[in-house]
Structure 1
Amino acid sequence: MAAALVGGAFLSGFINVVFDRLLTTDAVNLVLGKKLGSDLIQRLKTALLGAEALVADAEMKQFGNPSVRKWLDNLRDAVYCAEDLLDTVLAKAATQKEESSSWWSPSFFINRDRDDMVKKMEGEVRRIEDLGKQKDFLGLEKIPTVKSLRTLLLFGDCSSSKCNIEAATCDILSKCKYLRALSFCKRGVVPRYMRDSSFSILVVVPDSIKELVHLRYLDLSRTNIKTLPESLCNLSNLQTLKLYYCCKLTTLPSGLHNLVKLRHLDIRETALEEMPKKISELKELHVLSSFVVGKHEDNGIQELKELKIKGYKGTIFPDWLASCSYNDLTSVSLKSCKNCCMLPSLGQLPSLKSLSIEGLDQLRSIGEEFYKNEGDHHSSHIAPFPSLEKLKFDDMACWEVWHVSESETFPKLRKLEIRDCLMLKEEMLNQVFFRIVSSLSDVSKVRKLRIGNCFIRPPIEGMYLDGDSLTVWGCESVRESALKAMMSMNHLNCLQEMDISWCSSHVSFPGNCFPKSLQKLEIRMCRKLEFQEQQQHKYDLVELLIHSCDSLTSLSLDVFPNLKNLKIHNCRNLESVSMSEVPHVALQRVSITNCDKLVSFAGERLAAPNLTHLEVSGCSKLVSFAGEGLAAPNLTHLRVTHCSKLEALPRDMKSLLPSLHSLHIYCYPNSCRLAEGDLPPNLKKLHVGIGEQQMRDLSWMPNLDALTHLTIRGRECKNIKSYPEVGSLPHLPSLTTLHIEHFDNMETLECNELLRLTSLQQLIIQKCWKLENMEGEKLPPSLLRLKIEYSGLLGEHCENKHQLIWPKISHIPTIQVDFKQIRFLSRVTYRARRFKVKGISMRRKPLSSA
């Protein structure tokens, strides 16, 4: 394929040679003279130009079309014949030019020879013209000439002995001066037996490459070049230079830094011995496949900002790597250096911000040599790793010991990751986290501390400091080590929030373990949690959240005198939450949920003058709380749900809870009873689900003049088939929303009883599966919205406008059945209908005459 392409290139070249010779006045005057005339010359020029324009397309199409290949052969033969004719004529003309200045001289050509020459030339012109006329039949198209090419990819088999690749390269470069992309690389994977094919026989890049001033992409991969010419550094627009698998390339041009626009340099699998100096001046360089370190300390790396060493075969890194003179080096990566048993002394690199160490299989210990090179007289006495922000260890199979320097090591560290280092000893982790956190320059500014689990596999041990938030995560031993370290530190002066999770070992908090500044403590999934509840130990916490800590059996609020917010969830063995010192003036919010064994809460009396929200839910063994009364004059929200053994709510709610606005009571089965007339008078929202007897007769909630929302849940009312029963509803003058749900056997809705709710605007009926009828005159005329969901046949009757149902609801502007709106009246239409019903005409009165 490549031979054909190069052959095509030569054919194009020959056409240009013939064309150039025709432009020579000596040839025209000497060979053809006046007898031939200018018309044949012009025909030959036109034919050659037309043929050259078709050659590029024919070169591509010849491989699948034998006719095109034959066309190329015929054209090549015609052009060669024209070349031979010109050579013959010019050769004879050159030897006889001095003998006679006139071509009519008998010694030059006899008339017959001249006539034969003209006939032969006319035949070749006609032959080339005929070949040009076949373009439509062969499907050939004119492609711009070689001079205007922008991209040229040369590939395939050029191993033919007849192919002079250097000559072809020089010819290409001389004719394609506007190239933007040039590739000599063979595409795809190269089998071993073909590695001497393609342009791999290219040994020398010609100096004339400097003329391709527009070139942006140059691929010399898999060629046999040994050097690159210095003239290549004149390509000021070059952005990509690929030298992959140039196995004999040993040096790069010294002026490589002059390629100011170079963005991508691929030198993989080369034989380079070192990098050229000043390579750091390539400010636009984004991708450098590798950096080849020379034997000398002056290796051009001083000005680099990023260094990656992969697959180093030695056992000890060279000394120059630890030199503190590399002032601009910000990132170092050591990867897969399988034989190295000691880390270089990187601690004195002044600008190093990111360090990644991965796959050092023989490394067993990290000691003082990591932080400071004692043999380097240039080494300063600054703290080790003064600028390091990210430190990562990964896949260190034999690493057991890590000694952290006693001095202020890693003062700027923000992120530490230890992944898949299974041999690292736990006591080492304890020391590491303690010393690293202790030496952080910003640790005194930490406001949020989180210690938790990492669910990534393989697990990661690490630390992350983000602004004022410090997070430590990892396996069990890491969490324990971090927790012990934090508990013994005394300079977290600004710490306000602490989150501890997934610690299976014993977690105990002495009374003086927290800094005075700590306000919020969240503990989750700590199986062996313990608070010291001696009176002499006090905690200054403002917010305490405890989640799924099964070892917690009791909690005294007396040791939290400043506590404002308490939340306990899913502590399955918690039996009591006590408070003997009353009142607790700081307490504002309390939530205790899903604590199955809780039997006592706040003893007989809970006094919390500033308490606003109280929730007790899912405590199946709780019988009573604050039985003698809940003294919380500012309580606005009370929620007691799913406490199956609860017998009664706190007494005297009417007088002790004057600010209560919202009350949720869902207690099954029939154990919890509400005292008649004991509900607070200012109650606005009431959600109730109690025993069937009290649900039938709601007379226990009189005088709730402020109530606006009422939800009645009949989950345990299996015998109620008609609701609300006649005379069961009290006078509720302000009620606007009524929600009836979970009456499993309810069949009939009593409309007449609902007519007593004169302010009712919204009626919602949900999950009354057997509901199908409406009894009575109609629903209240004040209703604006009726919503029925999952409620048997009644929804279908409303949707189908059943003759017995529709008249009772047709006055309601908005009706929704199972999330489908079957009726909607705009406010104007609704008001118009209401006025019409009342006998008021909406028509305008005519203007009276003057």
Structure 2
Amino acid sequence: MVYTKFKALKGANSLRTFLAVAFEQNSWQKFHLSNKVLADLLPELPLLRVLSLSQLSISEVPEFISILKHLRYLNFSRTKITHLPDNVCDLYNLQTLIISGCESLEKLPESFTKLKNLRHFDMRDTPLLKKMPLGIGELKSLRTLSKIVIGGDNGFSITRLKDLKDLQGKISFQGLDKVQSRMQAQEVKLSHRRLSELEVEWSDVFDNSRKEVVEQEVLNAMKPHNENLKSLGIVSYGGTEFPSWVGDPSFHRLAKVTLKGCKKCTSLPLLGQLPLLKKLFIEGMDEVKVVGLEFLRTTGLAFPSLEILRFEDMKGWEAWSTNNNGVLVDTTFPCLQELDIKGCPNLVKVSVEALPSLRSLIISGCDHEVLRSLVCVASPVTKLEISCISGLNDQVWGGVIEYLWAVEEISIFECNEIRYLWESEAEASKVLVN
């Protein structure tokens, strides 16, 4: 029935755009084009400029693809394909190729250099794709290349990117532990490129092959242009400290920063001066014991625009303070709306000033002192979610709940020492109004 309906398109041999839309009516019934429809229909559309097979349940690229010589745009995103065949590289007019979200994709064709007109190549979220085509550095028309894997089976070098002078937009570098020197990293000249998003990632294996000094020099050499950057991610970096450009207020458009798995760093970078930073995610910084003024600034307004702050899996973290020898920083986190602290079992000392804009507080896998200290400065909270809080008993909870005069939603998981939420109806009525 479905196949018969598509027969009418066989006469539309001047069609320029074909967008196959996959959708599901419910979780157990999906609708998609069959391989038979694709194999029989698309060869009848030789003048196609735009072809999207995004989200279709296909596991291989149709064999006929190479006859669509006029294609400018080709989208295989979120399909089940395992490789791109060589005949894709016969599409010499292709300008945009999208394979993002292809979680089974393992291989790209070695003849990639034939795609001389390719401008945009999106290969984000392809976890099994571990190597780059060696000739990709020869595609001088490339403007966006979302993922770059250094090393891999073929030893792809970061220096092969030096001739891609028009790269811009979003870039994720993976395998930076394979970069051997600062000079190699400098050849990419990120400071000359107008990037909106940059992610730099090293191996998550910290063994004797890692060189802390080299990694510090490489990260320092990868300083991007400061005018356009809106998102920065640093993952599994092996240096002991961050270079000064991380947190430099000249990055005045930077809105999101992620620091993840940087296990050797003993302190956080000075991020409090970034004027438009709205989201900050910090995870797996095992050597950080104290978060204090080195994270903020000595005086004045700190984190003026931050709305979401998350700490996760900070195993060595012990203290968080905005005090300067007993004196609080003028203003800290004036716009913070959501604070999450998860998996920080050794954090017991928290001394921060009032959080006037906080609405959501989520604490998990922490000591009860963290909860007690934060609710004292976060009375406007409307949503509280806690789980696995050590030492949280009825007495401690009683001291917590009296500060939550604005709370509308409370979620409690695996806090087994609490026997009741309120001692009496009178106490409950202070919080549960209407």
Q: Which bin holds the TM-score, normalised by the shorter protein?
A: 0.5 to 0.7
Give 2:376's match in structure 1, choosing from 799, 805, 809: 809
How do residues 228-377 of structure 1 correspond to structure 2 at under 5 angstroms? none
Shift in CA distance, 816/796, structure 1 to aligned 2, threshold 3 Å: farther
- Partners of 1:606 and 1:630 within 8 A in 2: no
Give 1:542's match in structure 2, choosing from 89, 93, 96: 96
1:567: which partner in 2?
123
2:341: which partner in 1?
766
Letter of the 1:516 counterpart: H
CA distance in 1, matches of 2:33, 2:151: 29
CA distance in 2, matches of 1:674, 1:606: 28
Give 1:605's match in structure 2, choosing from 162, 172, 178: 162
1:5: which partner in 2?
none
**Bigger helix share:** 1
Structure 1 residue 724, shift from structure 2 partner: 0.7
User: Are residue 745 (structure 1) and residue 348 (structure 2) matched?
Assistant: no
Letter of the 1:768 counterpart: G
Gaps of 5+ in 1: 1-389, 393-412, 416-435, 453-463, 465-469, 799-804, 827-850
Give 1:676's match in structure 2, choosing from 241, 244, 247: 244
Q: Deviations along 1:105-163, whole A, 9 cap, x unmatched?
A: xxxxxxxxxxxxxxxxxxxxxxxxxxxxxxxxxxxxxxxxxxxxxxxxxxxxxxxxxxx
1:756: which partner in 2?
329
Shift in CA distance, 733/609, structure 1 to aligned 2, threshold 3 Å: same
2:35: which partner in 1?
473
1:522: which partner in 2?
76
Give 2:275's match in structure 1, choosing from 691, 696, 706: 706
CA distance in 1, matches of 2:145, 2:348: 44
1:664: which partner in 2?
233
How do residues 142-291 of structure 1 correspond to structure 2 at under 5 angstroms? none
SS of structure 2 residue aligned to 1:603: helix
Shift in CA distance, 632/663, structure 1 to aligned 2, threshold 3 Å: same
- Partners of 1:608 and 1:631 within 8 A in 2: no
CA distance in 2, matches of 1:599, 1:592: 12
Structure 1 residue 612, shift from structure 2 partner: 1.9
Structure 1 residue 537, shift from structure 2 partner: 7.1
- Partners of 1:451 and 1:473 within 8 A in 2: no
Give 2:197's match in structure 1, choosing from 626, 637, 650: 637
User: Are residue 503 (structure 1) and residue 60 (structure 2) matched?
Assistant: yes
Letter of the 1:502 counterpart: S
Q: Deviations along 1:427-473, whole A, 9 cap, x unmatched?
A: xxxxxxxxx79x93234437327699xxxxxxxxxxx9xxxxx9443
2:172: which partner in 1?
615
Shift in CA distance, 545/608, structure 1 to aligned 2, threshold 3 Å: farther
The structure with the largest alpha-carbon Rg is: 1
Shift in CA distance, 447/714, structure 1 to aligned 2, threshold 3 Å: closer
Shift in CA distance, 816/473, structure 1 to aligned 2, threshold 3 Å: same
Q: Deviations along 1:230-287, whole A, 9 cap, x unmatched?
A: xxxxxxxxxxxxxxxxxxxxxxxxxxxxxxxxxxxxxxxxxxxxxxxxxxxxxxxxxx
1:159: which partner in 2?
none
Shift in CA distance, 491/665, structure 1 to aligned 2, threshold 3 Å: same
- Structural RMSD (CA): 4.8
- Partners of 1:604 and 1:627 within 8 A in 2: no
Shift in CA distance, 579/651, structure 1 to aligned 2, threshold 3 Å: farther
SS of structure 1 residue aligned to 2:123: strand
CA distance in 2, matches of 1:697, 1:573: 30
Structure 1 residue 663, shift from structure 2 partner: 0.7
Structure 1 residue 689, shift from structure 2 partner: 2.7
2:291: which partner in 1?
724
- TM-score after normalising by structure 2: 0.61
Letter of the 1:603 counterpart: R
Structure 1 residue 814, shift from structure 2 partner: 2.3
SS of structure 1 residue aligned to 2:99: strand
SS of structure 1 residue aligned to 2:368: helix
SS of structure 1 residue aligned to 2:146: strand
Structure 1 residue 633, shift from structure 2 partner: 3.9
Shift in CA distance, 554/760, structure 1 to aligned 2, threshold 3 Å: farther
CA distance in 1, matches of 2:155, 2:328: 43
- Partners of 2:353 and 2:377 within 8 A in 1: no
- Partners of 1:578 and 1:602 within 8 A in 2: no
Shift in CA distance, 735/515, structure 1 to aligned 2, threshold 3 Å: same
SS of structure 2 residue aligned to 1:694: coil
Structure 1 residue 529, shift from structure 2 partner: 3.3
Answer with 630-639 or 523-532: which moved more: 523-532
Shift in CA distance, 695/671, structure 1 to aligned 2, threshold 3 Å: closer
Shift in CA distance, 707/596, structure 1 to aligned 2, threshold 3 Å: farther
Structure 1 residue 745, shift from structure 2 partner: 3.5
Letter of the 1:414 counterpart: K
SS of structure 2 residue aligned to 1:814: coil
CA distance in 2, matches of 1:450, 1:509: 15
How do residues 314-463 of structure 1 correspond to structure 2 at under 5 angstroms? 390=1, 413-415=4-6, 440-445=10-15, 447-448=17-18
Structure 1 residue 760, shift from structure 2 partner: 1.0
Structure 1 residue 497, shift from structure 2 partner: 0.9
Letter of the 2:333 counterpart: L
CA distance in 2, matches of 1:472, 1:594: 37
CA distance in 2, matches of 1:571, 1:811: 43
CA distance in 1, matches of 2:44, 2:10: 14
Identity rate, percent: 11
Structure 1 residue 559, shift from structure 2 partner: 1.6
Answer with 810-819 or 765-774: which moved more: 810-819
2:424: which partner in 1?
none
CA distance in 2, matches of 1:706, 1:796: 28
Shift in CA distance, 771/810, structure 1 to aligned 2, threshold 3 Å: same
CA distance in 2, matches of 1:588, 1:612: 6
- Partners of 1:613 and 1:638 within 8 A in 2: yes
- Partners of 2:264 and 2:285 within 8 A in 1: no
Letter of the 1:742 counterpart: D
- TM-score after normalising by structure 1: 0.34
Structure 1 residue 574, shift from structure 2 partner: 3.0
Gaps of 5+ in 2: 23-30, 388-399, 408-434
2:391: which partner in 1?
none
- Partners of 2:241 and 2:267 within 8 A in 1: no
